[in-house]
Amino acid sequence: MNPTYEPKEVEAHWYEYWEKAGIFRPEYRPDGQPFCVVIPPPNVTGSLHMGHALNLTIHDVIVRRKRMQGYAALWVPGSDHAGIATQNVVERELAAEGLTRHDVGREAFIEQVWMWQRRHGGRITEQIRRMGNSCDWTRERFTLDEGLSVAVREVFVRLYEEGLLYRGDRIINWCPRCATALAEIEVEYRDEMGALTYISYPFTEGEGGITVATTRPETMLGDTAVAVHPDDERYAHMVGKTLRLPLVGRIIPIVADEAVDPEFGTGAVKVTPAHDPNDFDIAQRHGLEAIKILDEDAVVTAEGGRFAGLDRFAARTAVSEALHAEGVVVKVEEHPHSVGHCYRCDTIVEPFLSLQWFVSVLELARPAINAVKNGDNSFVPSRWEKNYFHWMENLRDWCVSRQIWWGHRIPAWYCPDGHITVAKVDPDSCATCGSEEISQEEDVLDTWFSSALWPFSTLGWPDETPDLAKFYPNDILITGFDIIFFWVARMMKMGLHFMDAVPFRETIIHGLVRDAAGSKMSKSSGNTIDPVDVADEYGADPLRLALIQAANPGQDVPLDLEWVAGTRRFGNKLWNAVRFVLMQIEPRSVPPSGGYPANPGPADAWILSRLGEVAARFDELADQYRFSDAYGTLYNFAWSEVFDWYLEIAKVSLADPDLAATTRKTLGVVTRDLLKLFHPAIPYLTEELWAEVVGQDLLAGADWPDIPSFVGPAGMGELQELISGIRRFRADQGLSPRQEMPLRVLDPDSLLVGWAHEVLSNLARVDVEPVDAEPAHGHTRVVAGTLQGFIPLEGVIDLDAEVARLEKAIGEAEADLRRVEAKLNNPQFLEKAPGAVVTKERAKQAEIGDLLDTLRNQRGAL
């Protein structure tokens, strides 16, 4: 073995062994209970970022542990066609050649996207493998593959037949750059400073008018009314009157509507039904006309009269200037307001009246809300359930049609008479009138429509496959809080509707990966760290361990390369600990499981008992998905107990003929079980070491540790405390750690037996002489419970240092005593505190009192 841990070498080969051995397939454990999770499908043309790395590491830690625990564990991998995002990429390529997708034509364009996908699509899955993730690649799926397309079509048709999916004119959010409709959730709102323009609309009859306020003066071209609140006394007498729309000349009514907030602006609002959702609603209630004054490129239409042809922003300026010229602008004031941007390209979206396909989500949402309320699904951490409820209870219908080409084409056909035929199989004629002149809907479905089916479509639905029967519902779903609404909520709705069961039992929410300063990682701020680069430089295992050690449910994960360097140092420590063990035992001799010593020596029993406790605690924490705590516990145990103490003690035990055999056995099983416990987090390194220690089978397919209970011997803690105390004395005295010293040991409770004296003399570098009584003057004392060590002061040069050492100890003991006595002198405490607490305080008082006497005597003797 190399003297140092080289992640790159270690990580070069194991993945293919695991895959070839079929360990990542649930069939590996034919009799195991099923356990299933589906990957949040990444964009097929994307590349791995740190958020993926965190999400995947959590997945893998869970799945690998479940597999080792004997479950038939299945992690379904796959990717998403990411309609708008992918289409944008290919369109940019075309644009470089001066072409648009319309120049190329639909079929050729789609073929070009497929080509792009075949060229780049393998990249992210390659990166997922590189990070060691144990997905079952034989079950890999793609949202646009044949099976999933069948599922999408089935769902579309059934929802349509059930009346839960319809085509209609609604205000949708339109991205003029992507040239498609968006769902509400696909719009990102940001506060921006705008101008609130107050415009006076004159009455058609008589003097005066009514003043309205708007941040978008250009939309006045499409106004068809002004609305006031019905209870607003200022305007009560005006309701029913008419106004002449400036610049346009259209006669528009004043209507009364509850939706108007009398407090805002002037309390009178201009109504532009075709370009504002509220206005659209008002118009519906009052039978107002909706006039589209912007087209799909956000350019003013012919309805805009002399402003026709102007871009929406140019139109804003032009209309504003014209209004000023006409003298109808009362005032303009600065006004912060929130502006919607396209989540794919950041262009300002345009609310737009448009004929689109919608899913009626409220009916689907009800069971999805109930499922969480009654515990069929729970969120971890549970506080996210509140957000989920609030979201689900306030849904607007989901616009699912997109005016792009890359995606599932909507299975609806129109005949010249306007009949709609929706069918699972492409029809030859109109289902209503039989006309053969039918044409298919041009639009495709929202990418999230297919993602919503992922937990069952990937398992073969609508066919009743064995996988579907075995692995639906999935057990868990792991994702960031940022896509709860995009994805989790929709999977819940679709899963319950079509499978009549929740798609997964638990929804595990993790945080965002942030940089070392706690800032969000983003391309624009240039603080992103590429996980593949990190894996190349530090290793995938160290990165995984660094991520998982910070990943408690719902918590953001700050990442500093310095911490990855730290986990790599841990890897090196583990590597060398194993190297040491292999110098003591026969390589490849430890059994894959069992093999615990029947009669362990005292130190063996101690470390085995601790191993059992730590493994139990680890399991408890891991079952709650508290991986930061779980691996923190394990990490500290491995380093500070096994490596720093047990291995050092073992060096002594190995020299003892009575203890050597059991020590070797213990070294072997403790090492092996540590490898098992660490394996889900650092699979490559542990597998490599397993090959040296166990040498048969693969760790990835091994059983989870089942550690029998051991009882640690009395005196272990005192022994360690005594050793530390002697080391502290030496450091305080400025003595060399190498300098041998005599040590008289008083051990009235016989805590230390022969082996322990050897340990003491080796680890503390002292010549041990057991004594039956406290030696005469001229010693300093190190106390560890009832165990006392006496170091002759002869030869200790620095008397002042020893005085200082003692006085510090006396000071600390006095402070402790004061605190304890303050409690015990409080009658209220004695009366009201539980008996056990009082007893504990009394014992403490006695113990500190003894210590203090000892220290004071010693101080006096100097």
Per rule CB under 7 A, is residue 403 in the interface with RNA? no
DSSP string for 571-610: HHHHHHHHHHHHHHS-TT-S-SS----SS--HHHHHHHHH
Per rule CB under 7 A, is residue 738 in the interface with RNA? yes
CA distance 811 to 817: 10
In order of 38, 51, 77, 683, the CA distances from 56 in angstroms are 11, 9, 11, 13
CA distance 173 to 185: 10
- 183, 446 in Cβ contact below 8 A? yes
Contacts of 371 (CB under 8 A, 6+ apart): 377, 492, 496, 502
Give the one residue of 360, 527, 555, 762 binding RNA; rule: CB under 7 A.
555
Per rule CB under 7 A, is residue 155 in the interface with RNA? no
Residue 562 CA to chain centroid, in angstroms?
Answer: 21
Q: Omega before 462 cis (within 30°)?
A: yes
Residue (457 or 733) nearer to RNA, CB: 733
- 9, 684 in Cβ contact below 8 A? no
Per rule CB under 7 A, is residue 479 in the interface with RNA? no
Give the one residue of 189, 373, 525, 711 binding RNA; rule: CB under 7 A.
189
CA distance 535 to 681: 14
Part of the chain binding RNA (CB under 7 A), chosen from 74-82, 243-251, 315-323, 480-488: 480-488
CA distance 802 to 810: 12
Place of tokens 């009192």: 849
Give the one residue of 120, 727, 856, 859 binding RNA; rule: CB under 7 A.
727
The interface mask with RNA, positions 5-44, x = CB under 7 A, is xx--------------------------------------
Residue (458 or 858) nearer to RNA, CB: 858
Per rule CB under 7 A, is residue 613 in the interface with RNA? no
Part of the chain binding RNA (CB under 7 A), chosen from 66-74, 417-425, 468-476, 826-834: 826-834
Output the smallest distance, CB 7 to RNA, in A. 8
Kind and range of the H or E run holding 379 = strand 378-380
Tokens representing residue 702 in the block:
């091994």
- 408, 414 in Cβ contact below 8 A? no
Contacts of 647 (CB under 8 A, 6+ apart): 577, 580, 581, 667
Per rule CB under 7 A, is residue 837 in the interface with RNA? yes
- 632, 640 in Cβ contact below 8 A? no
Compute the Cα dihedral for 140, 143, 144, 146 and give only its sign: positive
Per rule CB under 7 A, is residue 214 in the interface with RNA? yes
Per rule CB under 7 A, is residue 722 in the interface with RNA? no
Per rule CB under 7 A, is residue 177 in the interface with RNA? no
Part of the chain binding RNA (CB under 7 A), chosen from 68-76, 84-92, 430-438, 735-743: 735-743
Per rule CB under 7 A, is residue 4 in the interface with RNA? yes
Residue (260 or 496) nearer to RNA, CB: 260
The interface mask with RNA, positions 615-654, x = CB under 7 A, is -----------x-xx--x---x--xx--xx--xx--x---
Residue (477 or 550) nearer to RNA, CB: 550
Per rule CB under 7 A, is residue 185 in the interface with RNA? yes
Give the one residue of 336, 434, 795, 811 binding RNA; rule: CB under 7 A.
336
Output the smallest distance, CB 852 to RNA, in A. 12
Nearest Cα to Cα of residue 792 among 841, 743, 857, 720 = 743
Output the smallest distance, CB 216 to RNA, in A. 6
Residue (152 or 574) nearer to RNA, CB: 574
Per rule CB under 7 A, is residue 823 in the interface with RNA? yes
Output the smallest distance, CB 206 to RNA, in A. 23
SS3 content of the chain, % helix, strand, coil (to 5): 45, 20, 35
Per rule CB under 7 A, is residue 739 in the interface with RNA? no
Part of the chain binding RNA (CB under 7 A), chosen from 141-149, 360-368, 784-792, 832-840: 832-840
Output the smallest distance, CB 511 to RNA, in A. 9
Ranges assigned E (strand) in 369-417: 378-380, 398-399, 401-402, 412-414
Give the one residue of 26, 34, 46, 265 binding RNA; rule: CB under 7 A.
265
Part of the chain binding RNA (CB under 7 A), chosen from 160-168, 601-609, 721-729, 741-749: 721-729
Kind and range of the H or E run holding 378 = strand 378-380
Helix ranges (DSSP H) in 198-245: none
- 791, 726 in Cβ contact below 8 A? yes
Dihedral of the CA atoms 811, 817, 819, 820 (nearest 10)?
A: 160
337 to 356, contacts with RNA by CB under 7 A?
A: 337-338
Per rule CB under 7 A, is residue 573 in the interface with RNA? yes
Output the smallest distance, CB 424 to RNA, in A. 33
Give the one residue of 128, 152, 183, 213 binding RNA; rule: CB under 7 A.
213
The SS3 assignment for 655 reads coil
- 601, 525 in Cβ contact below 8 A? no
How many chain residues bind RNA (CB under 7 A)?
97
Tokens representing residue 422 in the block:
């929706």
- 668, 646 in Cβ contact below 8 A? no
Give the one residue of 583, 598, 773, 776 binding RNA; rule: CB under 7 A.
583
Output the smallest distance, CB 556 to RNA, in A. 6
Output the smallest distance, CB 731 to RNA, in A. 4
Task: Give the angle subtended at the CA of 592 by the CAs of 587 and 593, to the nearest 5°.
Answer: 130
Output the smallest distance, CB 464 to RNA, in A. 37
Part of the chain binding RNA (CB under 7 A), chosen from 29-37, 55-63, 76-84, 573-581: 573-581
The interface mask with RNA, positions 279-318, x = CB under 7 A, is ----------------------------------------
CA distance 826 to 68: 55
Part of the chain binding RNA (CB under 7 A), chosen from 65-73, 142-150, 266-274, 790-798: 266-274
Residue (412 or 726) nearer to RNA, CB: 726
Per rule CB under 7 A, is residue 825 in the interface with RNA? no
- 356, 484 in Cβ contact below 8 A? no
- 726, 767 in Cβ contact below 8 A? no
CA distance 691 to 568: 20
Residue (118 or 337) nearer to RNA, CB: 337
758 to 797, contacts with RNA by CB under 7 A?
A: none
CA distance 498 to 482: 25
Per rule CB under 7 A, is residue 826 in the interface with RNA? yes
Q: 792: which strand partners? A: 779
Give the one residue of 32, 70, 230, 277 binding RNA; rule: CB under 7 A.
277
CA distance 818 to 845: 9
Give the one residue of 52, 270, 679, 744 binding RNA; rule: CB under 7 A.
270
494 to 523, contacts with RNA by CB under 7 A?
A: 514, 516-518, 520
Per rule CB under 7 A, is residue 579 in the interface with RNA? yes
Give the one residue of 31, 208, 828, 860 binding RNA; rule: CB under 7 A.
828
CA distance 483 to 485: 5
Part of the chain binding RNA (CB under 7 A), chosen from 167-175, 437-445, 658-666, 824-832: 824-832
Per rule CB under 7 A, is residue 485 in the interface with RNA? yes
CA distance 552 to 61: 13
Per rule CB under 7 A, is residue 392 in the interface with RNA? no
69 to 108, contacts with RNA by CB under 7 A?
A: none
Place of tokens 């990717």: 79
- 740, 763 in Cβ contact below 8 A? no
Give the one residue of 13, 102, 386, 777 binding RNA; rule: CB under 7 A.
386
Tokens representing residue 708 in the block:
């029998």
CA distance 787 to 717: 10
